[in-house]
Structure 1
């Protein structure tokens, strides 16, 4: 998979200080984390495309939500896989139940 930064990019936290000597390492770690997230999203989408009726579809989307914090994965789970055993958990999480 290529480096598509538009697919997923974790925002920098407020405490990241560009004047800190460790800032460069912080950015490297962030870039690696972003790359892992993009790879996971790509792999998850590939799995769902190849096996659209898999009983693990809900698990894939819940894992992607856990990795990224993006509620779009929960919404997709509820829209595409409402009978999933993870649908109730997704609905509860969307309602703020964490």
Structure 2
């Protein structure tokens, strides 16, 4: 008789530093190419997901990257990239208080 296989926890990779870990240890950004992208702290919004560590260097690093044409183009965010960069900075600042 075969025993059911144990499922492993979902593993994700930080887009800034490349660290891998369990889904719950990352901040998720959800959206669809060409549409609005938003911070998704619960990890439940529909759409594609971008994951990053909850470390200051990773959050601020992605924020800076989104301000560049190449960074915004990677996920086809277009003009929404600047708004998301601002949201990331605000999210990080509210965490520090």
Give the TM-score taking structure 1 as reference length. Answer: 0.31
Q: State the structure with bigger RCO (CA 8 A, min sep 6), 1 or 2.
A: 2
Larger relative strand fraction: 2
Give the TM-score taking structure 2 as reference length. Answer: 0.31
**Larger Rg over CA atoms:** 1
